[in-house]
Structure 1
Amino acid sequence: MTLKIRLARGGAKKRPHYSIVIADARAPRDGRFVEKIGTFNPLLPRDSAERVKLDLERVQHWLSHGAQPTDRVLRFLDAAGIAKRPARNNPKKAEPGEKAKERATERADKAAAAAAPAPAEPAAEPAAEPAAE
């Protein structure tokens, strides 16, 4: 039985309120759980102490018994100083895509062509004006 520390949604439509629970990974999101260890109210301001409430002693107990926190709960645990969230390392995500690279090279070529001085050609002699009669 794989245990997860995850969020179970409650509250009314457009007014979410989450319980932080220990549940079997196969159980429904809002269904059967083993123990409720905290709450999360996303409607409160980020700096509010009431936004995330955790029973830290029970969290430590379940982590020692092998419960795996979900990504969102791991954020809460990291903020509380219980668990460390690994740094994300995806350097390819920051690179521009193929089309963006092509556009950049085209733009650079146009800029280089515009900045290069035009080849010096001797000025053409002005055409003679017809004489007025």
Structure 2
Amino acid sequence: MAMHAIEAAASNVAKDIEAALLADLRHRARQGRNEAITLSVSDADGTLVAGLSGSTSYGWLLIKVIWVAPEMRRQGYGRALVVDALSRAKELGCHSAWLDTSDNDAMRFYTGLGFDVFGTLQNQGPQVPLGHQRWFLKCPVM
């Protein structure tokens, strides 16, 4: 049996792996709905200016990625994306959401939306990058 490294841009193998794992887990434990949530905002020309990607499992929404173009920040797009994702998660039976970030500005953004820190990872001593920290946050869906 051969192991292959696969470029993410060239393959949907990561999605296939996740689907196989979720199918296996369904046989062992009730987990609610496993759904992808993908939201985007485009300008009048159709150019992507903001987006959110997440998934639901075991009653939780995991917000995997949220991005807003630098020139579009502080205009409410990020907040609208998170609020919409939380609403959709509630419709899918989720009770809570979680995410992680290592960005200080994002950390303040999420806590301003009602997320609370439930864990951290922090590099110690000479670990590179020096002083790097990742926060894990959660909130109830509204």
TM-score by length of 2: 0.31
In our comparison, the structure showing a higher alpha carbon Rg is 1
Instruction: Identify, as 1 or 2, the structure richer in strand.
Output: 2
